[in-house]
Amino acid sequence: MSARISMICAAAVITLVGCSTVGRVTVKPYVAKNGERVFAGQAAPKADYQCSQVAQDKQPWGLHGNMDRVHATEQLTASAVDEAPAKGANYVYVMVPGEASIGSINVNAFKSARVAYFSCSQLPVNAG
């Protein structure tokens, strides 16, 4: 009986550790087409980055975004990174519509993605 309890506890620990790493939002450095380094991801900048928001845009999400979230998010991020230097930004916060449904109907199907652009004075040297 104790071996069975030990296996259940081990499985629970592995699941919790896996969920804690999968749930982390990634912000990483990119290089814009003009060669400038821009941090981007699905998280607002940390307070110690000393940022001020310089712009915010709505971007089309549509059916493609709902059908292939990963690819659409990658495309949106790449586009926003390339636009950031022209807006005076070096940090991009990408906000894709959440997945929410009632029955089989996606209630966010027609929402737009949003992108906030920030100018930060204290970005880390490496990804944070």
Residue that wins the pLDDT comparison between 105 and 81: 81
- The average confidence (pLDDT) of the chain is 82
Give me the amino acid identity at 59: Q
Residue range 105-127, pLDDT digits in tens: 666 667 889 999 999 999 987 65
Query: How sure is the predictor about 22, in pLDDT bands with cuts at 50, 70 and 90?
Result: very low
Distance CA 79, CA 84 (A): 9
Question: How large is the average pLDDT for residues 22-47?
Answer: 87
Q: Where are the domains of the chain?
A: 26-120
pTM of the shown model: 0.75
pLDDT at 63: 72
Strands of 24-123, DSSP E: 27-31, 37-41, 51-59, 91-95, 101-102, 105-106, 113-120
- Phi-psi map region of 114: left, alpha, beta (phi>0 left; psi -120 to 50 alpha): beta
pLDDT at 20: 40
Q: Distances in Å between the alpha carbon of 41 and those of 10, 16, 102, 104?
A: 33, 24, 28, 29
pLDDT at 125: 79
Query: How sure is the predictor about 23, in pLDDT bands with cuts at 50, 70 and 90?
Result: very low
122 in Cβ contact with 38 (< 8 Å): no
Question: Where is mean pLDDT largest: 6-20, 50-64, 96-110?
Answer: 50-64
Query: How sure is the predictor about 58, in pLDDT bands with cuts at 50, 70 and 90?
Result: very high
